[in-house]
Amino acid sequence: MPHPRATLLVPALAVGTVLLLSGCMPSVTDIVEDATGISVDENGASIETDEGTIEVGTTTEVPADFPAELPQPTGQLVSVVTAPGSWNLTYEGVEADSVEQIIATLAGSGYELVTDGTTADGRIASYQNDTWVATVIWDGAEGGSKALIYGVTSR
């Protein structure tokens, strides 16, 4: 004689499998998104809080409220962190000439130099005006990702 639990378990597993395969149950992605508040898809992830947003992925875009008067580098934007009046954009594949163009544009647009430093394979520079502080941190090490962190904060 079969055990009563086994008799109930087999149909329950069958129903659960049918529901899972038919799409009636939430996906693992949906469960993770609901539990964490993080939006995840095949192109990346997005986290929204009361203070701002973090986006990471291959389809990340410059935020619509990023100051239009500030220059943009060439390269692939891979992450964005925003807070009210503040943006942190991380790029990969940025060449030295693109970094120098950003710095020259800031200097030529009336931004005051705050700090500037160069190493054999990197650059850091920060400029400000009455409205913005813009900081560029670039790692151009040979064989590396040629990453650029571009931080902008309102004053």
The tens digit of pLDDT for each residue in 77-109 reads: 998 888 889 999 999 999 999 999 999 999 999
Residues contacting 15, CB < 8 A, separation 6+: none
Phi, psi of 83 (to 5 degrees): -145, 165
pLDDT score for 3: 56
Q: Take residue 125 and report the two structure tokens written for it.
A: 């520079």
pLDDT tens for each residue of 41-55 = 666 677 778 887 777
- The order of strands in the sheet holding 44-48 is 38-41, 44-48, 53-57, 76-83, 86-92, 147-154, 132-139, 122-128, 112-119
Amino acid at 62: V
Contact predicate 123/138, CB 8 Å: yes
pLDDT at 26 over 50: yes
User: Is the model more confident about 16 or about 48?
Assistant: 48
pLDDT at 1 over 80: no
